[in-house]
Amino acid sequence: MSEPSHGLVPVRRALLSVSDKGGLVEFARALATMGVELVSTGGSARALTDAGIAVRSVEDLTGFPEMMDGRVKTLHPRVHGGILAVRTDPAHTRSMREHGIEPIDLVCVNLYPFEATVARPGVSREEAIENIDIGGPSLIRGAAKNHAFVCVVTDPAQYARVVDELRAHAGATTPALREALAGEAFARTASYDGAIAAHLAGPAADGDEAPSVLALAWPRVRTLRYGENPHQHAAVYRDPAWRGPSIASAEPLHGKELSYNNLNDASAALSLAMDLARGRPGWTGAAVVKHANPCGA
């Protein structure tokens, strides 16, 4: 149960509970081929079973069924104890033995789509509330806190990185990866809670349409050559909730490192090109922009 002195932690058991199931089957299959026991919940478990992947239900792990329309699934000591236990602490390992708690070495969770839900026009307060994830952030925060022993995965974009790491280290994760993913996990829960707080706060008391609470936890995409002027430092950050096309998620294919002005021009060109093609099936928009002003389209 103790962590090897070189910091590699073998992944023997993983908990998978995701809202966005993109890439889940491939990720789970890669884990299974490395001998990892998969524990899963609800729709995630069904998706894996339908794909022919052996999975253990969280009810089997906890001895309790999912209840209250799925509001209570993983909120149980046999789940959180397996995540939060300090494997080198004799008191923790003794408690695990006494209560039949099995260690969980990898937690893969992404959250109910609260931001996308409240972005839809006319969404009801009841629907927004039902898309506030409780168990997911608890799992993420627990695994991120205990990243000395647990690897936390919060985004399908991380799957390939984790699989590559496991294959490179005979089914184990390194401290560097676990720490990096823990930081990304806390950024995600911070962003998620900020979106909920902003939505529930509503318009400011003075009637201003601007939100009374604005909390952002956006990952840095790249550092820029300079800001609006050569003496200024600048970087690009991405909204983790945005899934559409954007300059922040685009990959430069040629040329020198971008400056803020280059990025601003590119963003304006993309917006105009998308506007030209919107609502016109088969159309492809193109735009030429200088100093954020269209020169041709």
Secondary structure letter of residue 209 according to DSSP: S
- How close are the terminal C-alpha atoms of the chain, in Å? 63
Give yes or no for a contact between 268 and 247, defined as CB atoms under 8 angstroms apart: no
Check 99, 145, 233, 256 and give the catalytic one: 145
Check 231, 233, 256, 291 and give the catalytic one: 291
Grouping H, G, I as helix, E, B as strand and the rest as coil, residue 30 is helix
Closest to 247 in 3D by CA, of 225, 266, 224 = 266
The β-bridge relationship of strands 106-110 and 56-57 is: unpaired
Burial of 45 (0-12, 13-18, 19+ CB in 10 A): buried
Between CA 102 and CA 95 the distance in angstroms is: 11
Is 145 an annotated catalytic residue? yes
Closest to 12 in 3D by CA, of 37, 31, 32, 29 = 37
Between CA 204 and CA 216 the distance in angstroms is: 18
Is 6 an annotated catalytic residue? no
Give yes or no for a contact between 249 and 240, defined as CB atoms under 8 angstroms apart: no
Instruction: State the DSSP H helix or E strand holding residue 237, giving kind and residue range, or none if neither.
Output: strand 235-237
Give yes or no for a contact between 116 and 110, defined as CB atoms under 8 angstroms apart: no
Q: Which residues are catalytic?
A: 145, 291
